[in-house]
Amino acid sequence: MTKQSKGDNPLKALAFVGVLGIDVAICTLIGYWLGATFGETPGWIIAGVLTGLAAGIVSVVFIVKKVLGDSNE
């Protein structure tokens, strides 16, 4: 029987993927809310959603870099 390393827990990986999805969703919803609040036109809402989506993706990249950097040490 082989011994699993500290980062081989499938539940931890599932939670990590869930957190990434929730992060992108929350950033996108905040962008939608800001676009709807300040612009109230479809152009502002779309711009807010796209800005929130971009912020969510950048946030996910930073989270993944931090987790992968911590697992190599």
Per residue in 6-47, pLDDT tens?
A: 667 888 888 888 999 999 999 999 999 999 998 878 999 999
- The answer to whether residue 70 scores a pLDDT higher than 90 is no
Residue-wise pLDDT tens digits, 41-67? 899 999 999 999 999 999 999 988 988
Assign 73 a pLDDT band (cuts: 50, 70, 90): low
Tokens 């990986």 belong to 13
Helix (H) or strand (E) holding 4: none
Contacts of 23 (CB under 8 A, 6+ apart): 56, 59, 60, 63
Q: Exposed/middle/buried for 21, CB within 10 Å: 0-12, 13-18, 19+?
A: exposed
Q: How many CB atoms lie within 10 A of CB 44?
A: 15
